[in-house]
């Protein structure tokens, strides 16, 4: 009997359990394993892509946080369809996710914001993300002003325009690098309450 290939561990009937296993392994293997490519679409249909940090993944979906007035925040408010891609070069693995982005609860956003380093919380107040900036000194002045406002041990509250999204998956594809470009691909497609699973040609 031949030795199973790595993709054979995706034997589950749904994608979330194998994703959790792959993600745990990636976090042990790569320092920035949570870095994710997020694709959204503008009103005219043009795609927009950037890196975000994956901050949660469970049966409900995949969570990231942002300024709601940023380009991605505005695009998701107008069109909640989103795509994520995680690539772990050290493992020769990739996971692609497509679904609908929904706002996280205020309690979730508050909890994550409070867990961020203090300077990151101050930066969220100082930056009008994605808006034009005359020069770097303006941003630095704004940061200094916010730091003075919340000096000492003063709590830094979450800005009203800073929150998160959860992408509820509708398609999840696992890709495993194999010799001779005969890669393994397993796709899960949500059909109501169930998942349809199939292999794809590489």
Residues annotated as catalytic (active site), given as ranges? 181
Q: Which of 93, 104, 85 is nearest to 171 (CA)?
A: 85
The C-alpha atoms of residue 122 and residue 159 are separated, in whole angstroms, by 10
């Amino acid at each position: 009997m031949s030795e199973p290939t790595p993709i054979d561990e995706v034997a589950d009937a749904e994608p979330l359990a194998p994703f959790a296993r792959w993600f745990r392994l990636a976090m042990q293997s790569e320092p920035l394993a949570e870095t994710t490519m997020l694709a959204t679409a503008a009103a005219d249909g043009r795609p927009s892509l950037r890196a975000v940090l994956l901050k949660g993944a469970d049966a409900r979906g995949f969570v990231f946080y942002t300024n709601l007035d940023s380009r991605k925040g505005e695009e998701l408010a107008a069109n909640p369809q989103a795509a994520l891609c995680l690539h772990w070069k050290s493992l020769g693995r990739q996971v692609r996710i497509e679904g609908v982005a929904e706002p996280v609860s205020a309690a979730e956003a508050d909890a994550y914001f409070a867990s961020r380093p203090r300077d990151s919380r101050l930066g969220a107040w100082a930056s009008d993300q994605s808006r034009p900036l005359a020069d770097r000194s303006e941003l630095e002045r704004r940061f200094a002003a916010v730091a003075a406002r919340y000096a000492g041990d003063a709590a830094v509250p979450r800005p009203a325009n800073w929150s998160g999204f959860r992408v509820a998956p509708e398609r999840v594809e696992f890709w495993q690098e194999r010799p001779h470009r005969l890669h393994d691909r397993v796709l899960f497609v949500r059909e109501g309450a169930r998942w349809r699973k199939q292999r794809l040609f590489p």
